[in-house]
Amino acid sequence: MTSPLLCAIRTVLAATLLALLGACASTPAPPALSRGTGDLGLVVGRADGSLTVVDTSARTALGTITGLGDLSHASLVYARDGATAFVFGRDGALTRVNLLQQRIEARIQQAGNSIGGAISQDGSLVAAQNYQPGGVKVFDARTLQLVADIPARYDAPGAAGKTSRVVGLADLPGKRFIFSLFDANQIWIADLSQSGAPVLTKFTDVGRQPYDALVTPDGRHYIAGLFGEDGLAMIDLWEAQPKVRRILGGYGRGQETLPVFKMPHLRGWAVAGRHAYLPAIGRHEVLVVDTQTWREVARIPVAGQPVFVMAQPDGRQVWVNFALPDYHRVQVIDTPTHTVVKTLEPGAAVLHLEFTPRGDAVWISSRDANRVSVIDTRSFATLARLDMPAPSGIFFTSRAARMGF
C-alpha cells in the first residue's frame, strides 16, 4: 500500500514536471540557421528605408528588412560572420541587422548626417564618418556602445576650431581607421589598438577638398581624390614614416572642366593587376595609373562622367557607370587593351554595381527603373531582373573578408 508521504512526493513531482513542460511549450525556440551566408547580400531601397536580402546563387530576393530611416546615401559593412551587417544611414543612424533572421537587432542615432563607415580588421569596432557634426565616432560592434568620439576640428586662417565633414573612411590593419577631412584638406589616422583615447596621426595640406578615397587590396596605399583640383593624394602606409605624395597632378591642365553632376566614388577597388583605374572629375575619361610608379599610363574615353569605376575580382574587366545625363548606361573596359568593349543600358539611373564573389556576374541597380539586373560578365546576357522600389547600393557578404570594404 502506498504511503501518504510517497503520494505527496509523486504529486509534487508531477506538478513540477507539468510546469516545466508548460514553460518549454510557451517559450519560442530560436530560429534555426538553415543556410550559410556566403551567397547572400543586401540591396538598399532608398525610397522606403528598406533592405532586400538577396541570394546571389539563385538570383532571387529572400525577404525585406524595413524601418531603417533615410537611406538616400546609405552604405554598409559586414561582420566577419557574414550574417550581421552595420548600416550607415544618411540621417545619422547606425543600424545592426541580421540577414538570416531578416530583422533589425539594434539601432542608434549617432549623428545628424552620415555618409558611411568601416569595420575594424578584427571585427570588434565599427566607425561612422559624419558630416554633421563633422568627425568620426567609433562603436563596440557587439553592443553599439560608444568607444571613441573624434571631432574633425581644425584651424583655418582667421577661424580657429572649425569642424570639417569627413569622407573616405577606411579600415587599416591593427584597429586603425584612416579618413579625409573635406573642408580641412587633411587626412588623419586613428589608432585604437591601445586602451584610452585614440592616437591620431594627421597629414596636412594634402590638396584641396579630398572627396573620397580607397585603400588598395593589400592595405598598403590610401588614395584620396581631390575635388578642388586635378590630382590625387596618396600615402604609402608601409613606410616607417608615411607621408603624402601627390599623383596625377594637373591631369586636366589646359582643358575646361565640365559641370560635375555627381561626385565620383573611389570605393570600388578599381585596381586590376598593376594598374589602378580612376574617374577623372568633370571629364569623360577613366585614368589609368601604374601602381609601381604611380604615374599615368593611359586615358580611356568613356560615355560620360564616371561615378563608379569597379574592377572584376579577376581584374579582366573594369565596369563604369555615369552621372547625368548618361546615367542609364554602363560601359565595360577590357584591361589588357584599355578599350571599351561593351555598352549596356540596364535601366534609368544606374546607381551601383556589385560583382558576385568570383566575378561570374554583376548586379546593377537602376533606381528609376525600379529594378536590379543580373548580367553575365562573359556573354553580357541578362540572367535575371529583380523588381524593387528605387534600389541603390548593392552589398554582398563577400565584403566581410575584404579590406577597405
Read off the amino acid at residue 231: G
Q: With pLDDT > 90 as the criterion, what percentage of the chain qualifies?
A: 76
Using the predicted structure, report yes or no on whether residue 190 has a pLDDT greater than 80. Answer: yes
The beta strands (E) that lie in 120-173 are given as 125-132, 135-140, 146-151, 153-156, 159-163, 166-172
pLDDT number for residue 243:
96
Quote the distance between the C-alpha of residue 137 and its chain's center: 16
Q: How far apart are CA 356 and CA 350, in angstroms?
A: 18
| Cell numbers standing for residue 236 | 604609402
Read off the amino acid at residue 125: L
The answer regarding whether domain 110-259 maps to CATH 1.10.540.10 reads: no
| Cell numbers standing for residue 176 | 586603425
| 287-311 average pLDDT score | 94
Query: What is the average pLDDT score of the chain?
Result: 89
| 204-225 average pLDDT score | 92
Q: What angle do CA 252, 254, 255 make, to 5 degrees?
A: 60
Cα dihedral: 109, 113, 115, 121 (round 10): -40
Name the band, by pLDDT with cuts 50, 70 and 90, for residue 16: very low
Q: How far apart are CA 55 and CA 41, in angstroms?
A: 7
Question: Of 157, 317, 307, whose CA–CA distance to 225 is shortest?
Answer: 307
| 7-21 average pLDDT score | 44
| 243-255 average pLDDT score | 78
Distances 125 to 118, 119, 215, 309 between C-alpha atoms, Å:
8, 6, 18, 28
| 318-332 average pLDDT score | 96
SS3 325: coil
Burial 158-190 (b: 16+ CB within 10 A, else e): eeeeebbbbbbbbbbeebbbbbbbbbbbbbbbb
What pLDDT digit, counting tens, does each position of 107-150 carry?
999 999 998 999 999 999 999 999 999 999 999 999 999 999 99
Using the predicted structure, report yes or no on whether residue 320 has a pLDDT greater than 70. Answer: yes
pLDDT number for residue 253:
56
| Cell numbers standing for residue 401 | 573578408
| 260-272 average pLDDT score | 74
Using the predicted structure, report yes or no on whether residue 33 has a pLDDT greater than 60. Answer: no
Using the predicted structure, report yes or no on whether residue 275 has a pLDDT greater than 80. Answer: yes
| 80-107 average pLDDT score | 97
Q: With pLDDT > 70 as the criterion, what percentage of the chain qualifies?
A: 89
Distances 342 to 268, 345, 352 between C-alpha atoms, Å:
19, 10, 17
What are the residue ranges spanned by the domains of the chain?
110-259, 263-345
pLDDT number for residue 127:
98
Q: Residue 266 gets which letter from DSSP?
A: -
108 torsion bin: left (phi>0), alpha (psi -120 to 50), beta (else): beta
pLDDT number for residue 178:
97
292 torsion bin: left (phi>0), alpha (psi -120 to 50), beta (else): alpha
| 296-314 average pLDDT score | 94
Q: How far apart are CA 298 and CA 334, in angstroms?
A: 13
Just give the CATH number of 263-345.
Answer: 2.40.10.480
pLDDT number for residue 183:
96
Q: Do 168 and 197 contact (CB within 8 A), yes or no?
A: no
| 81-97 average pLDDT score | 97
pLDDT number for residue 22:
43
Q: Do 395 and 56 contact (CB within 8 A), yes or no?
A: no
Name the band, by pLDDT with cuts 50, 70 and 90, for residue 345: very high
Using the predicted structure, report yes or no on whether residue 330 has a pLDDT greater than 80. Answer: yes
Distances 11 to 1, 3, 15 between C-alpha atoms, Å:
16, 13, 6
The verdict on whether omega for the bond into residue 157 sits within 30 degrees of 0, i.e. cis, is no
